Amino acid sequence: MKTLDVPLNILYSPTGPTMPALVDLGVRRISLGSLLYRRALGAAVETAALIRAGRSVEGPAPTYGEVQALVRPGSQRPDTFGRPW
């Protein structure tokens, strides 16, 4: 079978095809599952380990205002700390 008559839903994997490749294949819905939670947890653990080791924390972090904008109904939501979706 080369085509499907129903929408194809996929669980995204960082080691799998890219988003554009999945779209080209006809995927209609790409789920992230627990990926965002696991990435956030990894970042939290890494940050705590750096601070405990007396090292500086590098990389972007949202401001309090940006965090509030993410949860404020009707607000302009940034994708990654200040850049629009």
Query: What integer is the mean pLDDT of 39-54?
Result: 96
Distance CA 66, CA 81 (A): 7
| Percent share of the chain, pLDDT over 70 | 85
Confidence grade of residue 85 (pLDDT, cut at 50, 70, 90): very low
DSSP string, 26-85: TEEEEE-TTHHHHHHHHHHHHHHHHHHTTPPP-S----HHHHHHHHSTT---BSSSSSB-
